[in-house]
Amino acid sequence: MNFSTDLSLALPELILAGGALVLLVWGAFQSRANMVFSLAAVALLVAAGAAAVLGPMGRGFSGGLIADQASAFAKVAIYAASAIAIPLGQPWFQRRGVNNFEFPILIVLAALGMGMMASAGDLISLYIGVELHSLALYVLAAIHRDNAKASEAGLKYFVLGALSSGLLLYGASLIYGFAGSTHFTVIAQAVEGGANVGVLFGLVFLICGLAFKISAAPFHMWTPDVYEGAPTPVVAFFGAAPKMAAMVLFARVLAEGFGGAAEQWRQILIIIALASVAVGAFAGLAQSNLKRLWAYSSIANIGYAVLGLASGDTAGVQAMLVFMVLYMVDVTGFFACLAALSRDGRPMETISDMAGLFKERPGIALAMSAFALSALGLPPFSGFWAKFYVFKAAIGAGLGVVAVIALVGSVVAAFYYLRLIKVMWFDASAGATETPPVEARTIALALALFTFPVVLVALAFLDPLAAAAAAAFGLA
């Protein structure tokens, strides 16, 4: 391929890179921050459209970038979720007297890195994508500079993120040394029939680094503190798009680079999946802060997504993709509800703050109930269908016992979801709430409608798209 073709394959990333540079200059010299927010959201939606409808498909930049059905599927979901985070953040910061025009630019830069992760074709582009999105996320976590918890969250995330990046880079260097290449296609030839000890050591370190990015146990230690300390709209972003990007990267690395060693890495993924479900289910029982509670909920849900990937076949990857899209709806919607709620000038973030919410804000209470029941996996909400796909794939791959154990974790987690609903609907009101921002309320209600009944229609389109994306990885 020539250079112009390479550039056409990277069109979504070029749109975001150019948009971020223009908006950075605009924001530095103009006082109208609102325009930066609007244009950043437009840039993300344009990039999503470019990923969805524009070809060609293929490999560019000497195989370092892949444009296929899987990358297109992931980019549309990532850029759409990133765009939603911008109108959530704008009124939230304005109500607190913070004029951070950098917020939407950092979202765009993070989305750029996530797009590179979804299209990574070798270990070098993998690392560049991971670091580009991670550096933006570190700053986003601490962007509310006057808040001590936000600063603490950013520092913890940075320190632990540096550790995970070291693990990932060390694993990549071992793989390069023993496989003789950084390209996934060449690595796949080297591990055909099974990985040798050196490559396997490198793969373990690589999996550990990626497991940190998706906050899977036992690499989840940063998640509760960062979720609690970071601004609520930032947490809505953290819980959705970066998880999708990391899971797609996870699938691409394992399927395209280490498909011949599937029986070896499946065992690691099963352990990570069960540990994540157990930690998320049981640790969540002790939480009173809703942001920490949903941090543990996200750890458990990532365990289900990893279980789909552990199936080691196309059906498992398809289940993971469907699960992640539906999970992104739930987590974004729940934090949109939290972003909409405040009382006496302070955000409502604890379970006790939600007492009697149905009497004060019935629409938001209904939306939060829908997201909680969906995360629980109660039919006919979207979370039920997400887990249905994962458990079906796991059972089909001979992981029936593992699926049953994971299902028990879901039953345990039901306690904290139902406790929240009980407090909202039946406890005495804790006082009048302030008028919620139109943007957050609209997003919350729209996503709640998606969880049911829109999901029943959406699955008819989502299922074949996920199947086509999963087939691009080349698993059996």
Q: For residue range 285-294, what is the model confidence (pLDDT) as tens digits?
A: 989 999 999 9
User: Omega of the bond prior to 56 within 30 degrees of 0, cis?
Assistant: yes
pLDDT band at 428 (very low <50, low <70, confident <90, very high): confident
Position 60 scores a pLDDT of 85
- Average pLDDT (81-95) is 89
Position 146 scores a pLDDT of 79
The mean pLDDT of the chain is 90
Position 290 scores a pLDDT of 93
- Average pLDDT (363-386) is 93
Position 56 scores a pLDDT of 63
pLDDT band at 449 (very low <50, low <70, confident <90, very high): very high
Position 238 scores a pLDDT of 92
- Average pLDDT (6-30) is 89
The tens digit of pLDDT for each residue in 194-222 reads 788 899 999 999 999 999 989 998 898 88
pLDDT at position 438 over 70: yes
pLDDT band at 259 (very low <50, low <70, confident <90, very high): confident
Task: Give the span between the Cα atoms of 387 and 300, in whole angstroms.
Answer: 12
Structural domain spans, the chain = 3-471
- Average pLDDT (346-366) is 90
CA distances from 89 to 59, 73, 94, 107, 387 (A): 36, 25, 9, 10, 30
Position 54 scores a pLDDT of 67
Instruction: Using a pLDDT cut of 90, give the percent of the chain over it.
Output: 64
Closest by CA position to 220, among listed 199, 191, 243: 243
- Average pLDDT (21-25) is 91
- Average pLDDT (236-242) is 93
Predicted structure pTM score: 0.95
pLDDT band at 96 (very low <50, low <70, confident <90, very high): confident
pLDDT band at 31 (very low <50, low <70, confident <90, very high): low
pLDDT band at 55 (very low <50, low <70, confident <90, very high): low
pLDDT at position 32 over 70: no
pLDDT at position 1 over 70: no
The tens digit of pLDDT for each residue in 134-176 reads 999 999 998 888 788 888 888 889 998 888 999 999 999 999 9
Position 93 scores a pLDDT of 85
pLDDT at position 263 over 90: no
pLDDT at position 183 over 80: yes
Position 427 scores a pLDDT of 86
Position 335 scores a pLDDT of 95
Instruction: Using a pLDDT cut of 70, give the percent of the chain over it.
Output: 98
